[in-house]
Amino acid sequence: MKPTLVSLSRNELDLAHLAVPLQLEELLAGDGPWEVEIGFGKGRFLLRRASAETGGRFLGIEVARKYYRLAQKRMRKQGLGNVILIAGEALYLLSVALPAAFASVVHVYFPDPWPKSRHQKRRLFDPESVDLVIGLLRPGGRLYFATDHLEYGDLVAEILGSHPAITVSTRQGLWEDGPRTNYEAKYEREKRPIVRLEATRSGEAGDDLIHPLTRRSLLAAARLPGS
């Protein structure tokens, strides 16, 4: 596997050379709230947000190296100094590299639904992995999600709805600022149905961030003979 890269406005670092979890306050100074986009693609939405909210701080994760490079080029061309871009696999980065409860907002738009049963363990939203996403949010933080894969959208709504720390609602129609990704703009033109969800983490700092199905799996594993 190629080294995971962390790109700032003026330089690029190898994750292997940084302390983990990442010391974000050292990488990007300031006191503005953090927004995270998982799977930022070509950077359309993330860079637009960073340009509009210059007092905020933004972090994006993208597994496709060619899209990461394109967004990096655009970030530097626009002179944005409030963005961190990371090239790497999201579940790995969420479990190892990123601190807990630092983000005010997390965005996830049109992730791979991995529709085949043998691939579903790779899903970002699964009872066994959703805690990694929710764990990024500070108390009161918000999650925004969209997919054109309706079955997956319904499943994500169910997973989030059964999480003890989350309140979730389905959004009817576009976001206030219009399509947020190239995919969303294309699907809107094609009048393709889209599931859009808005979720909020409860405001208690000590709330339960373990999904009930995850807890059940952990308890079952603990009872296995010889474990």
Segment 149-156 long-range contacts (CB within 8 Å, at least 24 positions apart): 149/113, 149/115, 149/195, 150/193, 150/195, 151/113, 151/115, 152/113, 152/115, 152/123, 152/125, 152/195, 153/194, 153/195, 153/197, 154/195, 155/125, 156/125, 156/195, 156/197
Place of tokens 């009930």: 212
Whether 171 contacts 196, CB under 8 Å: yes
**Catalytic residue chosen out of the listed positions 14, 112, 148, 208:** 112
Active-site annotation holds for 14: no
Q: What are the catalytic residues?
A: 112
